[in-house]
Amino acid sequence: MCGIVGFTGTRQAAPVLLDGLKRLEYRGYDSAGIAVADGDRINIAKVKGFVQNLADMTHDGGDIGGAVGVGHTRWATHGAPNDVNAHPHMSSDGRFAVVHNGIIENYAPLRQELTKKGYVFLSDTDTEVVAALLETYYDGDAKRAVMKTAARLEGSYSLGVVCLDGTGRLFAMREQSPLILGLGVGENYFASDVAALVPHTKNVIYLDDGEFAELTPESITVYDVRGRAVEKPVSRVTWDVEAAEKGGYEHFMLKEIMEQPACFKATVEPRIRNGRVEFEDFHLTDEELGRIRRIVITACGSAGYAGQVGRYVIEELCRIPVSVELASELRYRNPIIDEHTLLIVVSQSGETADTIAALKECKSRGAKTLAIVNVVGSTIAKLADHVIYTWAGPEIAVATTKGYTTQVAVLDMLAVYLADRLGKIEREKYDRLVLALLDMPGKIQRAIDLNRNIKKLAKKASAHNQIYFIGRNMDYAVCMEGALKLKEISYIFAEAYAAGELKHGTIALLEQGSLVVTLACYEPLLEKTMSNIEEVKARGAQVLAVAQEGNRQILKKADDFILVPRTEELFTPIAQIVPLQLFAYYVAKERGCDIDKPKNLAKSVTVE
Ligand code: F6R
């Protein structure tokens, strides 16, 4: 969704801001803009559409002078995506320009109040009230105006403010929406995402809710709500700028699919010491562990589907009841959650609004909370009692791939770890599973190598308007993710069904030539899945089976197949999903879709 950048230094700001905005494009947006203070005025350029339009309009920023500025990519919430509603928004006296992520929930009464006082608004946005408040409260002290403004705002926001008071000052404020400060030499930065900072610096400060920062080229000072300076730790970003670039691949999605063996390894290996699973930031005392009666996994989209896989593995190994709940439902459901619940929240971005709300709701009901998150320092990582990071590196394509597989990796490890702590697993099985986890990067690579012909299958599938995914048990969990991957990037209607449910309605939809992707790797139920294959074939459907290498029975029955290597049974989903990601990728490519930025979608869904 929206992206923010800010820069203060001695060189021309506009090209730096445009470069930052390009690095945030992947988040999804519909308009872009920059504001730069130059002498006694703030110059604004903003336009509906791509950052490239803005770059063209300003000759790559060359037309805009000044060394202090802010930039923004907007994903419309209040007001249509057009040039006027695009950020930055300027106060009517021209002293402040503001960029904003999030939603100012009380913007309507504020707008009414300010209008009554004679303030004239130009846009339909909630953001413009911030510029108006800054103007109203300015009495020669910009910091005071920022504090007074923040005190009036309700909702979630990160704000970047450029102020024309001759000091080259920028302000950055955070309330439930990420904002990271970057420390340079003779210049400083802020951004809503580390990806925009890494080309300049790896030294960053994560702002906390309620804090705001004042930036000059030489200094960054962070303040709390009351304006008292706060000492903040400086963190070091662990990945390089190349990690957020395409590296020769046509799309980020393909690059990220191919990175999965390495990401899986980075997530798993450091947590296995002397053959034992150990988490650096997840310590439950025996007493805390003994208190847990059930586990609830909550998340949205693919992260929830990773949770579905986790449910099977944890229940199987730990014999604790596990439910997977959509965060958007859980938050409003008056859920039965108490101190006997371990709540696991799963999120790549760590900023998904519904997941944050569900986490807060369950925390307030006494649950012990554990977050599985990719983005370091994100809101969810800060809110949960414990956090286990997935070391997938930056994920740029909107459709998650390496984010998902590393989430499953952590859930698998967690299952093994908890089973051991609960005394539910024998030593021999524990050792076997740990070895199998260490072996998975090779299996993922093999799953990629085995399917070099997948483009042909994708070409064939790309002509369909709907594709059904069926499977049982863990295969069903993978179906959900496989279908989501396909629908979100290829726009083919794709839905996952538990194979045993077909007869209860869905089979009515099948006709001659329908395509049914059948996941058939879960061995204990293979005979049942075989019967489902017979059923759908009898209705004239084509079967594209996902089967383990050497499974002749399935290969003989299917019209086409995707092969996956044999793995420890509980970890098969990881090997299965990788070729299904490739399948979705090539179907979307065949259909000429914008693979990295599917329509209507945003990388991190920071509003409800
Ligand atoms: C699908 C996808 C989304 C996310 C969901 C949750 O490919 O990426 O379904 O999984 O929006 O996002 P996070 O994991 O950032 O909480």
> Is 400 close to ligand 1, i.e. is its CB under 6 Å away?
yes
User: Residue 177: CB within 6 Å of ligand 1?
Assistant: no
Q: Is 352 in the pocket of ligand 1 (CB under 6 A)?
A: yes
Q: Residues for the chain: how many in total?
A: 608
Indicate which residue's Cα is closest to atom 7 of ligand 1.
Answer: 399
For the domain made up of 246-449, give the CATH fold. Answer: Rossmann fold (3.40.50)
Determine whether 273 is exposed, middle or buried from the number of CB atoms within 10 Å of its CB (0-12, 13-18, 19+): exposed
Q: Where are the domains of the chain?
A: 3-243, 246-449, 454-590
Query: DSSP assignment of 277-295, as one string?
Result: E--TT----HHHHHH--EE
Express each pLDDT in 38-50 by its tens digit. 988 999 999 888 8
The protein residue whose alpha carbon is closest to atom 5 in ligand 1 is 301
69 lines ligand 1 (CB under 6 A): no
Q: Looking at ligand 1, which atom is closest to the CA of residue 303?
A: 10
Q: Which atom of ligand 1 lies nearest, measured to the CA of 605?
A: 11
Please give the pLDDT value at position 215.
96
603 CA from centroid of ligand 1 (Å):
7
Write down the pTM of the prediction: 0.86
Compute φ and ψ for 499, nearest 5 degrees: -55, -35
Task: Give the active site residues.
Answer: 2, 603
Q: Minimal CA–CA distance to 457: which of 515, 538, 522, 531?
A: 515
Q: Do domains 246-449 and 454-590 have the same CATH topology?
A: yes
- Second CATH level (architecture) for the domain 3-243: 4-Layer Sandwich (3.60)
Q: Which stretches of the chain score pLDDT less than 70? A: 167-168
CA 72 to ligand 1 center in whole angstroms: 22
For 172-193, give one letter per residue: b (16+ CB within 10 A) or e: bbbbbbbbbbbbbeebbbbbbb
pLDDT, tens digit, 9 for 90 and up, residues 284-337: 899 999 999 999 999 999 999 999 999 999 999 999 999 999 999 998 888 899
Q: What's the CA-to-centroid distance between 256 and ligand 1, angstroms?
A: 15
Q: How much distance in Å is there from the Cα of 605 to the middle of ligand 1? A: 8
pLDDT digits (tens, 9 = 90+) for 195-206: 999 999 999 999
Any atom of ligand 1 within 6 Å of the Cβ of 85: no
Average pLDDT, the chain: 93
Measured in Å, residue 300 CA sits from the centre of ligand 1 at: 6
Mutate to test the pocket of ligand 1, among 331, 351, 352 (most ligand atoms within 8 A of CB): 352
Buried b (16+ CB within 10 A) or exposed e, 284-297: beeeeeeebebbbb
Structure-token pair, residue 123: 């846009």
Q: Does the C-beta of 378 come closer than 6 Å to ligand 1?
A: no
Instruction: Give me the CATH topology for the region 454-590.
Output: Rossmann fold (3.40.50)
